[in-house]
Amino acid sequence: MSLTVCSVNWHTWKYIYFQDHTFRKLATDRSFRRLICNVSPGSEEMDRLMRLPHTSVYDLDLKGLRGSDAHGTTLNSLLPRLETEYAVIADPDTAALIDGWDSLCRNALDGRTVAIGTPYPTHATRRFQEFPNAIFFYFHVDSVRRIDLDFRPESGWLRGLKSKASQYLPGRGPIDRDVGWQVPMRFREAGYEAHCFESLDCSSPRSVVLAPEARGDEHHYAGLPVLTHQGRSGPRGYDEDPISVAWLDRVCLYLGLDRRVPRVILEH
């Protein structure tokens, strides 16, 4: 097993179950490892996640951190625990769309290009553009370890101050140094490159998964759908909220899965 799929769980075990189903169903190597950082209180979700195949789960005490500070800290905690040649950090509400997604990502890398993944959409002008973010970040482990990546955001009070100041500045204001803001800079300093998928939403005439009206992003590479990300805003119900249900339905329809799959996989 040469790949580890990493995720952070905060009351998202149901999404991770669906993610694992699509990732394994479509992977070239279905025995890839899973590494999950659990920050949900209590042991029930951790117990459920440990039932997934080839999966390790660990608890992390965030010591009162919340929001982006907590997210960046959890991502940092994953890196020292990796034991495979390649790894991918993937948000729980992502799903694979193409056979051999893992081989596609691995084959896109070479000695200089050491990562591939999802970009921010073009309308997110205050986030770094044309570089993979932590929604789906596939990388060569040893290369990334050499540059000592830090996913933590700039300090919250400073980001807040800049955000307030930007209201009085012409144009778009300063770049928001949120989770992963240092990653492109560290890559440039090391002489590394990264590839990005193309990000589409349901309104794009080239959308083949989410059209006509399912919320989320579908990410293409070389003209083919590779991944979709629902993009939850708040703790929406996995198979109860209409936005989530629409996304799950569209993914199942595109992959030719029975529409009962999102519920059935939770029962195992």
pLDDT digits (tens, 9 = 90+) for 115-133: 999 998 766 656 677 899 9
Domain total in the chain: 1
Digits of tens for pLDDT over the chain (268 positions)? 599 999 999 999 999 999 999 999 999 999 999 999 999 887 789 999 999 999 999 999 888 778 888 999 999 999 999 999 999 999 999 999 999 999 999 999 998 999 999 998 766 656 677 899 999 999 999 999 999 899 988 655 444 544 544 554 555 555 667 888 889 999 999 999 999 999 999 999 999 999 999 999 999 999 999 999 998 755 568 888 899 999 999 999 999 999 999 999 998 7
Asked if the structure places residue 228 within a domain, the reply is no
Asked if the structure places residue 159 within a domain, the reply is yes
Q: In sequence order, what are the residues at sequence separation of 6 or more whose Cβ sits closer than 8 angstroms to the Cβ of residue 106?
A: 3, 86, 138
Asked if the structure places residue 106 within a domain, the reply is yes
* Amino acid 3: pLDDT: 98
Which domain CATH number covers 47? Answer: 3.90.550.10
Asked if the structure places residue 205 within a domain, the reply is no
Asked if the structure places residue 144 within a domain, the reply is yes
Asked if the structure places residue 33 within a domain, the reply is yes
Closest CA to 131 of 173, 193, 83, 87: 193
pLDDT digits (tens, 9 = 90+) for 23-68: 999 999 999 999 999 998 877 899 999 999 999 999 998 887 788 8
Asked if the structure places residue 261 within a domain, the reply is no
Give me the domain span that covers residue 104. Answer: 3-197
Asked if the structure places residue 246 within a domain, the reply is no
